[in-house]
Structure 1
Amino acid sequence: MSSNHEPLSVEDVERFGPDPLATISTNLAAVEERIARACARSGRDRGSVRLLPITKTVPAHILRYAFEAGIRSFGENKIQEAMAKRDALDDLAIEWTIVGHLQTNKVKYLTTFAREFHALDSLRLADLLNRRLEREGRFLDVYVQINTSGEDSKFGLEPHALLPFLDALEQFSRLRPKGLMTLALFSSEMARVRPCFALLRRLRDEASKYHLGIAGLSMGMTGDFEEAIGEGATIIRVGQAIFGKRPTPEGHYWPGLASAAQQ
């Protein structure tokens, strides 16, 4: 288990409550219940969906409580933040996943510690990753990011580019494509959100005819993961429902979410 905890700051207590372990454990149980209900509604086995907790903006010393609560896989958006936490928590057996857009000059860092990368969207990036992995004697599970919402602000391949991209990926032997990833439209209207997930599922179904390894669907976050499960998600990326509302602008996308200290 984790080592002794450092004292909580006023900011920690405001965000995570006076007992972060209890807060995280309670929130995690609530998320698990939501997952189970969504799976039951869709006629799916609970074991077919993997929960990937997203830990961005959560301080390393708070993540020690998350580890005590049973979380072993942490998902981060930014390489610098992930590496700082990896160094601070190197005494714990944590698996790290990078889920955010990766700049090419950060490739040399990702390949040293990440188990998975969920935002592969260019052959140049694939080539750089493969070269570094060859040097390090490692392999990397990757998910190809698709822009299913059509928004210019989103990274990811256009849907029509997927099959040629997967064909080209076969030259990079150190990359192990496991599936597809998307960020759905940010909206409280699920009738607008769900088509993004349905499109990713259709793309996966088509791609898997030619590329057997493409089976996973990384889609769904705090505000919409039940809809994603209904469309076949195999990995859901959930942060705020476990760790509370982030002190960042995107927190407003989940207006019904209470802060961790209030749950």
Structure 2
Amino acid sequence: MSVNNTNTNTTRRDEIAAGLAEVERRIAGACQSAGRARHEITLVAVTKTRPASDVRILAGLGIRDVGENRDQEAAAKAGECAGLPLTWHFVGQLQTNKVRSVVSYAGVIHSIDRPKLAEAVGREAVRTGREVTCLVQVALDEDPGRGGVVPAGLPALADLIAVTGGLRLGGVMAVAPLGGDPGPAFARLAELSAELRKDHPDAKVISAGMSGDLAEAIRHGATHVRVGTALLGRRTPFVR
């Protein structure tokens, strides 16, 4: 039985290593095309629906940034992987009733899109003596179900985060509109980031790009790409 388990683990490690190598190849190619250096890009491995064993394999392969979008799954996984040298990124929409749990493990929250949420995260961060890096999620389409503040609301929300205890304003995040060319959306996000940095020069993070559009995101200035499927394969349903 132990031999079979070893073989299974070795196979999965080989699969993930191959996926990581291909993603790294794509990132390197995109950086070369954009005239950027590879060190400018942080790869956030999105492990939603994947077991903690995959996270441990990724950590062993050198990944240091892991993303999750559902607190129930993320909290358990972060607990199982406590002690690994990882920064946990919460990349999904966040409800205020989940803030206490998310702040307990996430070092970066990519989806701050309203003042009430920023204030709740700040209160919990102060209560627990933590500092959480917050990105403002910007809506680049007309779909309110995907979250995000409209571009006109970005400055005020960023200003609030910057003065809220327990929070550090990291920058911006967006998801490309469904269908069509993601380039114009990422170009718009880059413009909004440049405007933001006039008042908040340290808010340098641009979180944009996923498995299918990471090259376009890097071309338009992304500093963080959130990659799941290309790294770990097709997702399986999460079982509670």
Tell me the distance in 2 between the aligned counterparts of 1:194 and 1:6.
46
**Is it true that 1:199 corresponds to 2:161 in the alignment?**
no
1:4-23 map, 5 Å: 7=5, 19-23=11-15
How far is 1:170 from its partner? 3.2
**Is it true that 1:41 corresponds to 2:42 in the alignment?**
no
How far is 1:61 from its partner? 2.2
Distance 1:137 1:91, change over 3 A: closer
RMSD: 2.1
Residues 192-234 of structure 1 deviation map (CA, whole Å, 9 limit, x = unaligned): 2111111110001111111222211000000000000000000
How far is 1:138 from its partner? 1.0
> Quick check: 2:68–2:89 contact (8 Å CA) kept in 1?
yes
> Quick check: 1:6–1:61 contact (8 Å CA) kept in 2?
no
Tell me the distance in 2 between the aligned counterparts of 1:70 and 1:48.
16
In the alignment, what sits opposite 1:62?
A: 54
In the alignment, what sits opposite 2:200?
A: 211
How far is 1:169 from its partner? 2.6
Tell me the distance in 1 between the aligned counterparts of 2:223 and 2:154.
19
TM-score normalised by structure 2 residue count: 0.92
Tell me the distance in 2 between the aligned counterparts of 1:128 and 1:5.
49
In the alignment, what sits opposite 1:230?
A: 219
TM-score normalised by structure 1 residue count: 0.84
> What code does the residue aligned with 1:193 have?
P
Task: Could you tell me which runs of 5 or more consecutive residues in structure 1 were left unpaired when the two chains were aligned.
Answer: 249-263
Query: Which range moves more in the overlay, 147-156 or 199-208?
Result: 147-156
In the alignment, what sits opposite 2:110?
A: 118
Distance 1:91 1:134, change over 3 A: closer
Distance 1:214 1:183, change over 3 A: same
> Share of identical aligned residues, percent?
37
Tell me the distance in 2 between the aligned counterparts of 1:76 and 1:118.
10
> Quick check: 2:64–2:85 contact (8 Å CA) kept in 1?
yes
> Quick check: 1:149–1:185 contact (8 Å CA) kept in 2?
yes
1:107-186 map, 5 Å: 107-186=99-178
> Quick check: 2:136–2:171 contact (8 Å CA) kept in 1?
yes
Task: Could you tell me which runs of 5 or more consecutive residues in structure 2 were left unpaired when the two chains were aligned.
Answer: none
Counterpart of 1:153 in 2: which secondary structure?
helix
**Is it true that 1:71 corresponds to 2:60 in the alignment?**
no
Counterpart of 2:104 in 1: which secondary structure?
helix
Structure 1 segments (4+ residues) deviating >3 Å: 4-8
Counterpart of 2:145 in 1: which secondary structure?
coil
> Quick check: 2:123–2:165 contact (8 Å CA) kept in 1?
no
How far is 1:168 from its partner? 2.6
Tell me the distance in 2 between the aligned counterparts of 1:74 and 1:215.
19
> Quick check: 1:117–1:143 contact (8 Å CA) kept in 2?
yes
Distance 1:40 1:135, change over 3 A: same
